[in-house]
Structure formats: C-alpha cells, structure tokens
Amino acid sequence: MNVLVTGATRGIGKVIAEVLGKEHAIFATGRNEELLLSYKNHIVCDMSKREELYKLGEYIELNQIDILINNAGEYVYSSIEETNFDSMANILRVNLEAPLYLISKSTPYMKQNKFGRIINIGSISGVMGEAGASIYSASKAGLIGGTKALALELAEFGITVNTINPGWVDTDMGNASANDGCWTKEEIIECIPQRRFVSPEEIAGMVKYLISDDAKGVTGQSINLCAGLSVGY
C-alpha cells in the first residue's frame, strides 16, 4: 500500500511513518527538505502556501495513494484579541483547508480501487475547547465535522475516514506548547487522569489499527487518545 504522511519530519508524523514504513511504501511530506531526505519518496510542502499545496495534490494523483495520514498542523497559543487575521488564516489553512484539499485529491484513486483509508490527526482541543487557543480548537473541531461528513460520502466505496484526537503528547511540539501556556508541564500533568503525556508510539499504533482490515467497519469516528483528559479531572 502507498501511504502519504504529512508532517513526517518530526514528532507524531515521523513515528507514524516509521511504524507504517515496516509494511508499506511511505510517501513523506514536510517543510524541511533536509529532514525529508531520509525517505525514499518525499516532497517538500509548506501547507500554508497554496502553490505548494497544489503541487502536493499533483504528487498524490501521480503516486496513487491508498492511505492518507493528515498529520501536519499548526498551534498558536494566544488570546482572541491578540490573534491577528493572518495568524487565523494560516492556522485554518494548515489545520483544516489543507487536509480537506488533500482528501479531495486522494479519493478519485481510492474510489476506483474500492479501498481507502484516511486518518486525520485532530486534537482533544477540538473536542473540549482550549482557552487561549480558540482558532486552533476551531480548526480541529472543523476537522472532526469534515471527518463525519466524508465518512458518509465515501462509505460505499470502501473508504474509511477517522480522526484521532491526541491530548498532550510527549514530542518537541507538545512540550513547547506546554511551556507557552500559563502552567508548567508538571501542573498540566496533574490535570491528566493518567498523570502522563501520551507517547507518539501510541498514536502510531492506533493509526496502524485503523488502516487494517480489522477496522474496516470503523468510520466517521472521533477517537480521543488523551490519557483520560477528555473524561474530566
């Protein structure tokens, strides 16, 4: 199977690519060309730039992608009154518009093949909301809505569409996000029922299951992988 992973140069995306690469052909994309060189099949793409996104769409059509992992994302911690329009537009393009566009370029081949797996990496902030990150939360909530609608639209073609919503993840981005807020990492952990950050390997394991034949009946789902954070504290 041909698997495209966006944001594959670090964090969650890199681990997903490593895990799935043991059984599938990985097509990787990200902004850092040097880091992408470790992948045989790769294309540089800054999701916030429309012309680069169009090139990635052409790349998807050319390489007949069976499995699309929409992992790339932007996070900004800012009060609503301090969030300028350009920042809003950038977050919405990278987190919501780009994944939907890439899905639109992937589905013709999937429909023809009567098989496809689309996994969107969302966020628990799109389920619960996050004060100080309203645009980020809105973008991830939109991704969940799109997942449900697309699951219905594509079900008859053997294509499943699901979203995984991580909580706090033990990656560079996750730790940096913790430091950007009003609380320390230790204080955040105290609010997580399991008292820990989720590992990227756990998310990769969930992706591996969702693309398997065992999960062919799982579609339109928003799966919270958050160490209990979505339940309460």
Tell me which residues are annotated as active site: 136
Helix, strand or coil for residue 159?
Answer: strand
Q: What is the SS3 assignment for 219?
A: coil
Query: Which pair of tokens denotes residue 138?
Result: 């809105």
Q: Taken in order 30, 34, 38, 40, is the CA torsion positive or negative?
A: positive
Q: Where are the alpha helices (DSSP H) in the chain?
A: 11-20, 33-36, 50-63, 85-92, 98-113, 125-128, 134-154, 172-180, 185-190, 200-210
User: Contacts from 175-179 at CB under 8 Å and sequence distance 24+?
Assistant: 177/75, 177/77
DSSP string of 164-202? Answer: EEE-SBSSHHHHHHHHHSSS-HHHHHHTSTTSSPBPHHH
DSSP letter at 97 equals: I
Task: Classify 35 in phi/psi space as left (phi over 0), alpha (psi -120 to 50) or beta.
Answer: alpha
Say whether 77 sits in a helix, a strand or coil.
coil
Eight-state DSSP code of residue 115: -
